[in-house]
């Protein structure tokens, strides 16, 4: 069966006979020798910061460029031959009049004031970096030259498309995976509308970010450097000291994107493409996918484009906008004293993906025996305040303790990916720190006098239930499942449906949404203005960060289940009594199961155990990316309406957006482990 599948992908046996087994496992374009992370000197470069250089224009050009940047310490490059001595080849964004940079210079926007961005793909036809980042053409990808299924590395023009992660935008400007375009717009994807995007900026102030989202090669384009922050501000969160909530601002507000990477001895990116010398080894099923690895984990921690940097701070409060920009690595972060390994200052989390919390939540409490940690999955953001007031003269190391894969994988290496960066409290305090103090018992971020209104509650965090007064239109139960090959995962699926799985609807047809012949609805078609409960059932062995485009949602609860028993009964529900990969769910999608949930899966309630767990204190805000742990059901409440619209003003069929989300190519929901979303763990959805 695998042989027939291989021939279907490659278009015949000729290419297979031309590729020897050694070719499949060799470095594809340029031989690379890994540079072990433990040989790289730490904490020699300052953290790049963006205060004073952020871009706030309401109309700008953002282009994708190839350039060299010294990501590693300068001494690594000094001994290298030309051209490597000039730095690592990266792809990055050149925003407006700023120089191209990895990560991009932060864009600041004002709530209610639209931002127009003209995106350009200025990569050369044969960029240098292309030889290091191998596109696997056997997975479903953008495919500008119509070579899908070929076992050869792709060598044509690079497709890109930029997604504003967390943005409440029309689907034409969402940067969906099929909206890609090559340099000069010579080739475009089926979802392409325009390279000029208009972001309405009507949602609540939040830490958003933008990154590449091209179908089937997001993992490579983001790995190359295509990422940047997008701050949405209003009068409560101004970024100016003394205004609004008076949060730490100016040079005391610092964005931090953390990414794990791997380098070769020439100081260039090394991404596993089948080479056994790579950190992650050869791909698990090279006879099907010669270059795709299920998850990338690097041994060098890069922060704001620098390997293991340091930051000199004053003995005062700082606001840090922290983003997990890794391909697959989860992060569990805390500070320890670098001289004695004692706990450092705690973190006060003030915001989540979609904006500020009602109240600050204390993490890493140095006085608690088992404190709540700052846990971030790929794509998640944590808006935190750290107070260094009592720590003059001390140095702290930011540690990561999350296993990889999470949660059951290997612990991080304490000498490499277990360390992230250093904070040195050595600058003299200038004046007095009068900024917002989250440690005050009365500290509120919302709902008080002259503050942002309290969060419109879709979920009640105290009880772990849907909030009173919320009318639920539909309940969906949706699965996360890996498809195993001889050596490991072949692909990873949401609701057992591939990216281009067929689906049907009633009423006015939507282009690309066709019947599957079995009467199943295999795609999520929520009604604009409706509110739904999604129960995401994870029967894989790893956690998956699930991200929904367009909307911010709220976590209801999590609950343990017996994955083996559920999986056995679920598989038996398929025609013939056995699991059929990518067939779709086993039952008709739109027929409620015994739990009253649609989605085409058997009811999950008989397989649950224990009581549901309410959200942690720092998970009670708006989210667009949520950790779905293995062996659990994660319940979220999703509303296709803006965040701040009161419950009484929302009803199915009533559009409260400033645009019509039912118009355009549609949106997606997917796992934000980039290696997963590139190989089928992503589905289109379309509001109707």
pLDDT digits (tens, 9 = 90+) for 418-472: 999 999 999 989 889 999 999 999 999 999 877 889 999 999 999 999 999 999 9
Domains, the chain, ranges and CATH? 2-234 (2.60.40.420), 248-262+298-449 (2.60.40.420), 459-685 (2.60.40.420)
> In sequence order, what are the residues at sequence separation of 6 or more whose Cβ sits closer than 8 angstroms to the Cβ of residue 81?
none
- Chain-wide mean pLDDT for the chain? 92
Cβ 109 vs Cβ 117: under 8 Å: no
pTM score > 0.75 for this model? yes
pLDDT of residue 274: 72
Lowest mean pLDDT: which of 55-69, 119-133, 507-521? 507-521
pLDDT of residue 25: 33
pLDDT of residue 500: 80
pLDDT of residue 276: 61
Distance of CA 195 to the CA centre of its chain: 22
pLDDT digits (tens, 9 = 90+) for 513-523: 444 333 334 57
Asked if pLDDT for residue 15 goes beyond 60, the answer is no
Closest CA to 8 of 148, 154, 215, 217: 148
Asked if pLDDT for residue 9 goes beyond 70, the answer is no
Mark 632-651 as b/e (b = at least 16 C-beta within 10 Å): bbbbbbbbbbbbeeebeebe
Give the pLDDT mean for 65-73.
98
Cβ 556 vs Cβ 625: under 8 Å: no
Asked if pLDDT for residue 608 goes beyond 80, the answer is yes
pLDDT of residue 5: 26
φ/ψ (deg, to 5) at 323: -120, 130
Q: How confident is the model at residue 22 (pLDDT cuts 50, 70, 90)?
A: very low
Give the pLDDT mean for 153-164.
97
H/E element, 682: strand 682-685
Asked if pLDDT for residue 68 goes beyond 70, the answer is yes
Other beta carbons less than 10 A from residue 588's beta carbon: 16
d(CA 501, CA 684): 10
pLDDT digits (tens, 9 = 90+) for 369-400: 999 999 999 999 999 999 999 999 999 999 99
pLDDT digits (tens, 9 = 90+) for 267-318: 999 998 876 656 677 889 999 999 999 999 999 999 999 999 999 999 999 9
15 or 66, greater pLDDT: 66
pLDDT digits (tens, 9 = 90+) for 78-96: 999 999 999 999 999 999 9
Give the rounded percent of residues in the chain with a pLDDT score beyond 90.
Answer: 87
Q: Is the dihedral of CA 599, 600, 603, 608 positive or negative?
A: negative
pLDDT digits (tens, 9 = 90+) for 324-371: 999 999 999 999 999 999 999 999 999 999 999 999 999 999 999 999
d(CA 404, CA 214): 25
pLDDT of residue 513: 42
Asked if pLDDT for residue 617 goes beyond 60, the answer is yes
Give the pLDDT mean for 522-547.
94
d(CA 581, CA 574): 10
pLDDT of residue 329: 98
| DSSP assigned state of 2 | H
Give the pLDDT mean for 183-210.
97
Largest pairwise CA distance in the chain? 74
pLDDT of residue 526: 95
φ/ψ (deg, to 5) at 15: -70, -35
pLDDT of residue 28: 63
């Amino acid at each position: 069966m695998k042989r027939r599948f291989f021939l279907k992908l490659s278009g015949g046996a000729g290419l297979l006979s031309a590729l020897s087994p050694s070719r499949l496992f060799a470095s594809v374009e340029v031989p690379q020798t890994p540079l072990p992370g433990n040989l790289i000197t730490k904490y020699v470069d300052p953290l790049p910061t963006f205060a004073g250089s952020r871009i706030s224009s309401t109309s700008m050009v953002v282009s994708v460029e190839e350039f060299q940047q010294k990501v590693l310490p300068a001494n690594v490059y000094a001994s290298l031959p030309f051209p490597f001595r000039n730095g690592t080849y990266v792809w990055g964004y050149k925003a407006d009049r700023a120089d191209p940079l990895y990560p991009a210079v932060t864009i600041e926007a004002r709530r209610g004031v639209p931002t127009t961005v003209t995106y350009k793909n200025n990569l050369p036809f044969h960029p240098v970096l292309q030889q290091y980042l191998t596109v696997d053409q056997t997975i479903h990808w953008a495919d500008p030259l119509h070579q899908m299924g070929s076992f050869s590395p792709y060598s044509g023009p690079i497709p890109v498309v930029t997604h504003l992660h967390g943005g409440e935008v029309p689907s034409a400007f969402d940067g969906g995976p099929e909206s890609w375009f090559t340099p000069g717009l010579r080739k475009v994807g089926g979802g392409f509308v325009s390279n000029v995007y208009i972001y309405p900026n009507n949602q609540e102030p939040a830490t958003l970010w933008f990154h590449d989202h091209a179908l089937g090669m997001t993992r490579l384009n983001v790995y190359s450097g295509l990422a940047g922050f997008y701050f949405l501000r209003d009068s409560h969160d101004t970024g100016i000291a003394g205004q609004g909530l008076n949060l730490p601002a100016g040079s005391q507000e610092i964005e931090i994107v953390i990414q794990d990477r791997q380098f070769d001895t020439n100081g260039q990116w090394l991404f596993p493409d089948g080479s056994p010398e790579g950190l992650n080894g050869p791909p698990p099923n090279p006879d099907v996918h010669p270059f795709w690895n299920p998850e990338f984990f690097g041994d060098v921690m890069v922060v704001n484009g620098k390997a293991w940097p340091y930051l000199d701070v004053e003995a005062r409060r700082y606001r840090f906008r922290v983003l997990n920009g890794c391909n697959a690595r989860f992060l569990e972060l805390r500070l320890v004293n670098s001289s004695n390994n004692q706990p450092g200052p705690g973190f006060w989390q003030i915001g989540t993906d979609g904006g500020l919390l009602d109240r600050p939540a204390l993490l890493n409490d140095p006085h608690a025996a088992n404190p709540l940690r700052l846990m971030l999955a790929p794509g998640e953001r944590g808006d935190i305040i750290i107070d260094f007031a009592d720590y003059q003269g001390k140095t702290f190391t930011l540690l990561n303790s999350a296993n990889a894969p999470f949660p059951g994988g290997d612990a991080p290496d304490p000498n490499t990916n277990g360390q992230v960066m250093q904070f040195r409290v050595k600058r003299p305090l200038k004046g007095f720190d009068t900024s917002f103090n989250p440690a005050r018992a009365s500290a509120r971020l919302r709902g008080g006098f002259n503050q942002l209104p309290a969060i419109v509650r879709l979920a009640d965090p105290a009880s772990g239930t849907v909030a009173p007064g919320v009318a639920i239109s539909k309940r969906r139960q949706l699965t996360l499942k890996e498809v195993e090959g001889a050596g490991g995962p072949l692909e990873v699926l949401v609701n057992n449906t591939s990216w281009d799985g067929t689906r049907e609807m009633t009423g006015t047809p939507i282009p690309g949404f066709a019947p599957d012949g079995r009467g199943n609805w295999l795609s999520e078609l929520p009604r604009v203005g409706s509110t739904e409960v999604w129960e995401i059932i994870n029967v894989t062995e790893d956690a998956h960060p699930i991200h929904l485009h367009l909307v911010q949602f709220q976590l209801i609860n999590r609950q343990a289940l017996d994955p083996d028993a559920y999986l056995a009964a679920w598989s038996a529900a398929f025609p013939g009594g056995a699991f059929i990969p990518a067939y779709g769910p086993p039952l008709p999608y739109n027929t409620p199961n015994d739990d009253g949930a649609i989605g085409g899966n058997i009811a999950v309630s008989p397989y649950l155990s224990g009581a549901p767990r309410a959200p942690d204190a720092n998970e009670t805000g708006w989210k667009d990316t949520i950790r779905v742990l293995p062996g659990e059901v994660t319940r979220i409440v999703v509303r296709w309406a803006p965040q701040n619209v009161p419950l009484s003003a929302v009803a199915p069929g009533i559009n409260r957006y400033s645009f019509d989300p039912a118009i355009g190519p549609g949106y997606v929901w997917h796992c934000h482990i980039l290696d997963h979303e590139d190989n089928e763990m992503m589905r289109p959805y379309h509001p109707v």
